[in-house]
Amino acid sequence: MATLPPKSCERAYRNILRTTISTLWRMELLNQAPLHLPHINCRKASYIHIARDELQRRDLFKHAQYLRSHLDQLPLLCLRTQATSYIPSHLHLANDHTYTPYNQHYCPSCLPIQIVGNKLHTLLHCPHSSPLSHPAILTLTRALRRYDLCSWSSHTPLQQTAILLGSSPSKLLRKHDKAWTHSTSTTCTKLIYSLECHLFKHQPSASPRPAQSVTSSPASPPV
């Protein structure tokens, strides 16, 4: 029987371990945030729901595609890991510094209607902030067409949120991952900046500086 050289053995063993651990890791994460639950009730579940399609990649030790670009992805990373102070559901505390459960961080623009101010609401449904997403949605719709993928409206709201935040569409061929990120990242980043600017202007409770590491810790490490 031919024996592999030691380096190749090491590499093969590492790859098997990575795949096995990734499978266990993925199962644990998906079990923590089942899609059938009527609503998202914590920061971690929100994070997992949006990263759901990306968690399907075989090796979770490799960064998601949007993090492997040379472009500035920090705004996307901050928003996805909930390290911002302008999305209400990203905050641990209320304005009076008391702990507030995730599902009571209401969108201030929609009060007195009590709607959780999470990314999905802010980007897609809030009558005050969602119009900012329209130019990005137009660009992404064209990109979906270019790659011969399902239309924007056939994606679920969670998938649409993920795509607006830099994810590749679930049906995109792996060979096009890099090109997708390259052609859409700037659009997604611009959207985050305009959202940030809009919310600081219109939400008196939002602090003028994103709380990247001081008041809010990421919900989960990027995977």
Q: Which is nearer to Zn ion, 77 or 107 (CB)?
A: 107
Q: Is 203 in the site for Zn ion (CB under 5 A)?
A: no
Binding-site string for Zn ion from residue 48 to residue 87, where x marks contact by CB under 5 A and - marks none: ----------------------------------------
Q: Which one of 22, 85, 109, 203 is in contact with Zn ion (CB under 5 A)?
A: 109
What is the chain's Cα-based Rg? 19
Q: Is 126 in the site for Zn ion (CB under 5 A)?
A: yes
Q: Which is nearer to Zn ion, 122 or 159 (CB)?
A: 122
Q: Is 117 helix (H, G, I), strand (E, B) or coil?
A: coil
Q: Which is nearer to Zn ion, 108 or 218 (CB)?
A: 108
Q: Which is nearer to Zn ion, 110 or 124 (CB)?
A: 110
Of 211, 190, 204, nearest to 109 by C-alpha is: 204
Residues in Cβ contact with 33 at an 8 Å cutoff, skipping those fewer than 6 apart: 40, 44, 45, 48, 49, 52
Q: Which one of 50, 107, 172, 223 is in contact with Zn ion (CB under 5 A)?
A: 107
Q: How far is the CB of 198 from Zn ion (least distance, A)?
A: 12
Q: Which one of 71, 110, 124, 179 is in contact with Zn ion (CB under 5 A)?
A: 110
Of 87, 82, 123, 80, nearest to 107 by C-alpha is: 87
Residues in Cβ contact with 59 at an 8 Å cutoff, skipping those fewer than 6 apart: 15, 18, 19, 22
Q: How far is the CB of 185 from Zn ion (least distance, A)?
A: 26
Q: How far is the CB of 134 from Zn ion (least distance, A)?
A: 16
Q: How many CA atoms lie within 13 A of 66 on its CB side?
A: 27
Q: Is 136 helix (H, G, I), strand (E, B) or coil?
A: helix
- Burial of 86-121, coded b for 16+ CB within 10 Å and e otherwise, reads bbbbbbeeeeeeeebebeebbbbbbeeeeebbbbbb
Range in contact with Zn ion (rule: CB under 5 A) among 13-21, 69-77, 118-126, 186-194: 118-126
The residues of the shown chain that bind Zn ion, judged by CB under 5 A, are: 107, 109-110, 126
